[in-house]
Amino acid sequence: MLSCRDLQIPCRAGTHPACPNDLGALVRKRTPCVVGETAGGFELLLGRTDLEACRGDVLCLEAVLRRAVDEAGPAGESPPRAA
């Protein structure tokens, strides 16, 4: 089973009402979703369309999540953004 440790990112599961205010504002009307925290703050990693495209396939979810995490950069680092 895929864990946050496997992805080398800190994570926690939660529901929208339990989210801190800044995270809650990001996910409002965007759930289900996966959010990551980088040095620049919270970032939407996967949205409803990404999750639905996996159709319950855990290996698919792992692949798209790994790709999204790689693109976002590790926690504590913000990757350079294209201008």
pTM: 0.68
Average pLDDT, the chain: 75
The boundaries of the domain holding residue 59 are: 4-72
Domain count, the chain: 1
pLDDT band at 11 (very low <50, low <70, confident <90, very high): low
Q: Quick check: is 83 in a domain?
A: no
Q: Give dist(CA 2, CA 28) in Å, integer.
A: 26
36 sits in which H/E element: strand 34-38
pLDDT per position as a tens digit, 27-42: 878 888 888 877 777 8
Q: Quick check: is 82 in a domain?
A: no
Q: How many helices (H) and strands (E) does the chain have?
A: 4, 2
Q: Quick check: is 81 in a domain?
A: no
Location of structure tokens 């703050």: 41
Q: Give dist(CA 18, CA 21) in Å, integer.
A: 9
Say if residue 80's pLDDT is above 70.
no
Q: What Å distances lie between residue 48 and 8, 53, 56, 61, CA to CA?
A: 23, 8, 12, 12
